[in-house]
Amino acid sequence: MADSRVAGYAEALFAVAAAEGDSSVVEDELFRFAQALRSDKDLGSTLADTGLPLARRLQVIEDLLGSRVSAVTTALVSMVVGAGRAAELPDIVDAMVERGAASRNKTVATVRSAVDLTADQSERLAAAINTRTGRDVEVRVVIDPSVLGGVVTEIGDDIIDGSVRRRLNQLRESFR
């Protein structure tokens, strides 16, 4: 039931984004906001708190996104929160991003890095993943300071970990 609801909302968001023009930009903005929700539990709980007036929660969204993302992105986030599904927004966005990539015959590659990748690095990484796995991917970057340095790429169930954190963990394991 939850999966079908998430898929339904994702399909709706993708349809709206596609109808409004360049859906990849909206997908990227929504993806970054979803990652922010995952990392900031207070923000997630605030938006999901039905005890707060909806206007107050929508105002929070407007304050956070209004000047940084497209109006379509802000409207879609407000729609999901207004529907009382703020807690499911990250999963909805993930499904929407996958849906958009699938519409372009691509697969989403979630890339975790301590710093943002340049456009050139993203393109080269997508090409490298294509060379290695044979799949066309769309790189979605998630800023994760715990990685310390390097990159961790997740493509479905496959993980390519080249982070400094992994090397430190390996070093820690070698001490035991």
Instruction: Point out which residues bind another protein (CB under 8 A).
Output: 113-115, 117-118, 121, 124-125, 127-129, 131-132, 148-151, 153, 160, 162, 164, 168, 171-172, 175-176
Nearer to another protein, 82 or 150 (CB): 150
158: Cβ–Cβ under 8 A, 6 or more apart, which residues? 133
Rounded-to-integer distance, Cα 100 and Cα 91, Å: 14
Rounded-to-integer distance, Cα 165 and Cα 173, Å: 12
Give the pair of three-digit tokens for residue 63: 């304050």
Nearer to another protein, 15 or 127 (CB): 127
Give the pair of three-digit tokens for residue 2: 């939850």
User: The sheet that has 158-161: what strands, in order across it?
Assistant: 137-143, 107-113, 151-155, 158-161
| Closest distance to another protein from the beta carbon of 157 (Å) | 17
| Closest distance to another protein from the beta carbon of 113 (Å) | 7
| Closest distance to another protein from the beta carbon of 127 (Å) | 7
| Closest distance to another protein from the beta carbon of 41 (Å) | 24
Nearer to another protein, 95 or 139 (CB): 139
